[in-house]
Amino acid sequence: MVDFKQADQYVNDNLDASLDELAALCAVPSVAAQGMGIDEAVDVVQAMLAKRGFTTEVMQTGGAPVVYAERKGRNTAKTLLFYNHYDVQPAEPLELWDSPPFEATRRDGKMYARGVSDDKGHFASRLFALDSLLAQDPELPCNIKFVVEGEEEIGSLHMPAFVEKHAAKLAADACIWEFGYVDANDKPIQYMGMRGLCYVEFTVDLLKTDVHSGLGGSIFPNAAWRLVWALNSLKGPDGRIRIPGHYDKVVPPTELDRQLATALPYEGDDYKQRYGVKEFLRGTQGNPNLALQEFLEPTMTICGLTAGYQGPGAKTVLPAKASAKVDFRLVPNQTPEDVMKGLRAFLDAEGFSDVEVKELGSEPPGRTDPNDPFLNMVVETAAEVYGAPMTRVPMSGGSGPNHAFLHYLKLPVVTAGLGYPGGLVHAPNENIREDLYVKATQHIARVVTKFAEA
């Protein structure tokens, strides 16, 4: 029998060492979008796993490789799979960071770095949890497998095919997903699914060169204007995506979704305070409405706009080229294929055949059965650490390749981890709270143990 008091103490006593290990991983600028630091991150991740007695393997995917690892445990009949990723979002805009993004910095009970939460902190915390068990028993409670990929932040391009191809090797009984969060009241959250994603780049390229705006303004086509008009045609101020059929396959919220959304703590006031939001879209207030809108609605988000002169002051230029990065979030049962097809047809029909559309990354949506026993165990076990069981949320607002694990491995995918609403994930000053790092580690130690016993 595992002594959780002793395991918890181990986590408290060895926090500095674990955060040092995390800091070393964060020092690798493994930005998938910029193709940086991949090989180095693979080496560091592999070494971290090998240090815990895992057999590791660098597996090719067609893109950034997966670090795969496995170690047998006492109960050889039960296998738990951890999915994590070693790649991170770009650190830009660099000038908004209070400390260098790739030098993890501890201050005021937090640690700051790009990837310190998403997802290097989660990976390090999983290993720390295993350390706390191995300190009592040289064997792990059950078989453990790790899939640590390097393209999550650019849409896990190769993960579905990878999981399908290696389904036998990856076979497991349950999967702990890459992340987990607490809400604004530090209550842990169980996300029972993830929205899909279709991330595209629009490019308009009309002239050989930028032109003096005094020459071309009234007679030359302007790429920036074409882009603005094309975007506006796709979604107007009412927020409705105008691609024909875009909402046709959307499964409306179920009665359970409404119950869960009603039971959710209201994050609206926290969002307003934290992000400076004055009013939510459509003026929505309170749950279940805000939660249903946040988690179960398709979105079309402009993530970036680029055209012409962007420096200080005035430059009288007519830009040859303009581009936009746009993120569509999908809910069951939308598919990225439908979006891409509908997008091209719509733009052509609206007279925007000069707007090129490139798919940069896609994922279908995916959900785990809300009644799954493993999911329920993870939810209930949280109470021992956080003082309350996890709150069940119908879907995560984010996306990931969970659908591939659900579909090809036929296992429940659940979330648990150290994230919190102030973590500034994907933004400058990404950070973790050290107290939540400890709690997430202690929770995972219990999950592994109870899963092995079940």
Site residues (CB under 8 A) for a second copy, limited to 202-241: 206-222, 224-225, 227-229, 231-232, 235-237
* Rounded Cα distance, 437 and 111, in Å: 10
Subset of 330-369 contacting a second copy (CB under 8 A): 351, 360-361
**Cα separation, 390 vs 183, whole angstroms:** 10
Contact with a second copy (CB under 8 A) among 51, 74, 169, 315: 315
DSSP per residue, 380-441:
HHHHHHHSSPPEEES-EEEE-THHHHHHHH---EE----B-TTS-TTSTT-EEEHHHHHHHH
Of the two residues 335 and 376, which places its CB atom closer to a second copy in the complex?
A: 335
Tokens 């927020």 -> residue: 239
Per CB under 8 A, the list member of 195, 246, 367, 403 interacting with a second copy is: 195
Residue 47 or 424: the one with the smaller Cβ distance to a second copy is 424
- 119 preceded by cis ω (within 30°)? yes
270 contributes a contact to a second copy by CB under 8 A? no
State which of residues 34, 60, 185, 353 lies at the interface with a second copy (CB under 8 A).
34
Applying CB under 8 A, among 99, 136, 259, 284 the residue interacting with a second copy is 284
Is 276 a binding residue for a second copy by CB under 8 A? The answer is yes
**Candidate segments 11-19, 98-106, 267-275, 405-413, binder of a second copy by CB under 8 A:** 267-275
Q: Min. distance of Cβ 347 from a second copy in angstroms?
A: 13
Peptide bond into 288 cis (omega under 30): yes
Output the smallest distance, CB 422 to a second copy, in A: 10
DSSP state of 98: S
Chain centroid to Cα 276, Å, comes to 23
309 binds a second copy (CB under 8 A): yes
SS3 22: helix
Contact pattern for a second copy over residues 124 through 163, marking x by CB under 8 A = -----------------------------xxx--------
**Least distance in Å: CB of 180 to a second copy?**
14
Copy the structure tokens of residue 410.
């036929």
| Contacts with a second copy, 411-430, as mask; x by CB under 8 A | -------------xxxxx--
206, 208, 213, 218 alpha-carbon torsion, rounded to 10°: -50
Task: Select from 62-70, 160-168, 194-202, 242-250 the region that touches a second copy (CB under 8 A).
Answer: 194-202
Q: CA 220 from chain center: how many Å?
A: 42
Task: Find the shortest distance in angstroms from Cβ 324 to a second copy.
Answer: 8
> Measured between alpha carbons, how far is residue 256 from residues 182, 264, 321 in Å?
21, 12, 48
| Residue 250 in contact with a second copy, rule: CB under 8 A | no
Q: Find the binder of a second copy among 4, 247, 266, 271 (CB under 8 A).
A: 271
**Residue 167 Cβ vs a second copy, minimum distance, rounded to whole Å:** 27
Judged by beta carbon, residue 199 or residue 451, the one nearer a second copy is 199
- Minimum distance, C-beta of residue 309 to a second copy, in the bound complex (Å): 4
DSSP classification of residue 31: B
| C-alpha pair distances (Å), 373 with each of 366, 411, 414 | 18, 11, 11
Smallest CA-to-CA distance from 270 within 144, 213, 162, 185 is with: 185
With CB under 8 A as the contact rule, the residue among 55, 301, 333, 353 that binds a second copy is: 301
Binding residues for a second copy, how many (CB under 8 A)? Answer: 95
> How far apart, in Å, are the Cα atoms of 159 and each of 64, 145, 231?
10, 16, 30
Alpha carbon distance 114, 210 (integer Å): 35
CA dihedral over 251, 253, 256, 261, signed as positive or negative: positive
Does residue 399 touch a second copy according to CB under 8 A? yes
Q: Which is nearer to a second copy, 11 or 227 (CB)?
A: 227
**According to CB under 8 A, which one of 12, 35, 251, 369 is a site residue for a second copy?**
35
Sites for a second copy among residues 39-98 (CB under 8 A): 89-90, 92, 96
Residues 6+ apart with CB under 8 A from 127: 18, 21, 48, 49, 52
Output phi, psi for 270, to 5 deg. -65, -45
Between 396 and 441, name the residue whose CB sits nearer to a second copy: 396
Q: Examine residue 280 and tell whether it contacts a second copy (CB under 8 A).
A: yes
> Least CB distance from residue 319 to a second copy, whole Å?
7
Taking CA 189 as the corner, what is the angle to CA 128 and CA 394, rounded to the nearest 5 degrees? 135
Could you say whether residue 322 binds a second copy (CB under 8 A)?
yes
